[in-house]
Amino acid sequence: MLDPDTLARTLGVALRSGGDFAEVFAEDRSSSSARLDDGRVEEVVSGRRRGAGVRVVSGESTGYAHTADLSEAGLHDAAAAAAAAARGTPGDARVVALERRDAPRSHAVTVPPDTVDKARKVELLERADAAARERGAAIGQVSAGYADGRRRILVANSDGLLVEDEQVRTRFSVSCVAVGDAGLRTGTEAPGRTVGFELFDDLAPEAVATTAADRALTMLAARPAPSGPIPVVLRRGAGGVLFHEACGHGLEADLVDRDASVFRGQVGEQVASPLVTLVDDGTYAREWGTYAVDDEGAPARRTPLIEHGVLTDFMWDRLRADKEGRVSTGNGRRETYQHLPMVRMTNTYVLEGDDDPDDIIADTPYGLYCVALGGGQVDPATGDFVFGVTEAYLIEGGRITEPVRAAQLIGNGPEVLRRIDAVGNDFDTWAGTCGKNGQGVPVSSGQPTLRVAEITVGGTARG
């Protein structure tokens, strides 16, 4: 996107006021999307955005400026503004010699989405709409969405680093509303991967639509959920968002540094059941949070966070790692070139265990079987959380029986980790957008089927 000589001169301008470290982050992002509501294609849009940000670090102070003007003059203006904001002490000019480094990717993109006709993308929506409606007359509304994006980034810094990466993501979503005597019930399914249009080689839009429609129809017959502390079995993939929110954020080094994490000071201590190993892995091929390098140019890594219940590490970006004499774990991420990077998760998941998922159910006399979770609230300083449940069933006598509705899971992340008493040998992931300090980035989370011996369920059933 930018030639090395221009980048080197821009870094020289950034360091002219005496900064300790300077960085140029450039981004070229393109996207397309299509949406269908109730059998009609409502919109087919595409867009492109380019720009660069310059960061200057001077002691404990950081200055940042961004621009959509990628000319050398525009970059120099941004560099001067960032240097002024960092308030460094003027010194001798520094010359930066950039060395281009490779960024090996975990997998190849075989069908770039921008080479695919818009008509083919719209056809996927129409197929999903038809499949959802075939599930029964009770399906009253169907919405389907297609989205793809290509993000090219370049990072150059005063350590001599010059590296580029390209990230291509494709996602498909279906939401259905079922109408019955009990009112309206909604079912949603939205898989996504860091791949191109080849996503649909092994993902049929009909299958996505059927899952969403069946989820809505099932909830029509659901009875009110029970309330109180009971065992909860999380189906593979379903609890990923819980571990991401209730545990993952507390393992981000910036929150630890601000004393806003319940895990502060616990490295080397038993914080979870010995059955639990939790990792963050930016190299996990095809997953939603995968990349070759992070937004500071550090290679993506697989970072064990909790091993057999023992807290072993946190996730680190460059600034926090430098402060502690560590190396970045490749978790410095930003939403766009207009944002400063911060510590963020990538693909965070619990590893498989040895238990057969069917045996976990059979060994549970009574409890709740959660298939899908919705949104929730978490306080990373304490680990306390509340999560909505969008699809769940009772477990009675070691069997999955009736669907239930209006359930919430209420608890504490570290307590949930300690109460896990069975971990299955299956696995699945969930793809989503993680919000933090006003920035959203793509992530995935996952886990095998597992049982928590006790979580408080907030339901509406009486007696």
Could you tell me which of 207, 162, 167, 148 has the C-alpha nearest to residue 5? 162
**pLDDT of res. 406:** 85
Q: How many CB atoms lie within 10 A of CB 436?
A: 18
Q: What is the pLDDT of residue 141?
A: 97
Single-letter residue type at 295: D
CB distance 188 to 103 below 8 Å: no
Tell me the average pLDDT across 154-170: 97
Question: Residue 91 has what pLDDT?
Answer: 55
Give the pLDDT score at 90.
Answer: 62
CB 351 within 8 A of CB 277: yes
Q: 232 vs 76, 275, 351, 365, 371, CA distance in Å? A: 57, 16, 18, 11, 11
Mean pLDDT over 438-460 rounds to 95
pTM of the model: 0.94
Contact between 64 and 55 (Cβ < 8 Å): yes
As given in the structure block, the two tokens for residue 132 are 């959802």
Asked if residue 348 has pLDDT above 50, the reply is: yes
Residue-wise pLDDT for 194-249, tens only, equals 999 999 999 999 999 999 999 999 999 999 999 999 999 999 998 888 889 889 99
Which among 152, 105, 108 is positioned nearest to 2, based on CA atoms? 152
pLDDT digits (tens, 9 = 90+) for 386-430: 999 999 999 999 999 999 998 999 999 999 999 999 999 999 999
CB atoms < 10 A from the CB of 1, how many?
Answer: 13
Using pLDDT thresholds of 50, 70 and 90, give the confidence band for residue 258: very high
* 3-state secondary structure (DSSP) of residue 108: coil
Q: Region 181-186: what's the mean pLDDT?
A: 88
Distance of CA 427 to the CA centre of its chain: 17
pLDDT of 98 over the 90 cut: no
Over residues 54-71, mean pLDDT: 94
443 SS3 class: strand
Domain ranges of the chain: 228-458
Distance (Å, whole) CA 262 – CA 43 = 44
Highest mean pLDDT out of 87-91, 316-320, 459-463? 316-320
Nearest to 205 by CA among 152, 143, 260, 126: 126
Q: Which two tokens stand for residue 29?
A: 């992002």
Distance CA 125, CA 177 (A): 16
pLDDT the model gives residue 463: 47
Cβ(39)–Cβ(47) below 8 Å: no
Judged by DSSP in three states, 101 sits in coil
Compute the Cα dihedral for 290, 293, 294, 295 and give only its sign.
Answer: negative
Collapse the DSSP code of 366 into the 3-class scheme (helix H, G, I; strand E, B; otherwise coil) and give the result.
strand
Q: Percentage of the chain with pLDDT > 70?
A: 97
List 435's β-bridge partners, or say none. Answer: 440
Tokens of 77: 């203006």
Number of H helices, E strands in the chain: 9, 24
pLDDT of residue 435 exceeding 50, the answer is yes
DSSP 248-314: IGGGBHHHHHTT--TTTT-TTSB-S-TT--EEEETT-TT-TT--SB-TTSPBP-EEEEEETTEE---
Name the one residue in this structure whose structure tokens are 């950081």: 62
Q: Is the pLDDT of residue 99 over 80?
A: no
pLDDT of residue 88: 63
Closest listed residue to residue 351, CA positions, set 445, 454, 278: 278
Which run of H or E residues covers position 361? helix 357-362
Helix/strand/coil for 327: coil
pLDDT higher than 90, residue 324: yes
- Rounded to the nearest integer, the mean pLDDT of the chain is 94
How would residue 96 be classed by pLDDT, with cut points 50, 70 and 90?
A: low
- Rounded Cα distance, 224 and 462, in Å: 8
Q: Give the C-alpha separation, 35 to 209, whole Å.
A: 14
Please state, in angstroms and rounded to a whole number, the distance separating the CA atoms of residues 217 and 195: 31
CA neighbor of 30 nearest in space, from 191, 153, 172, 199:
153
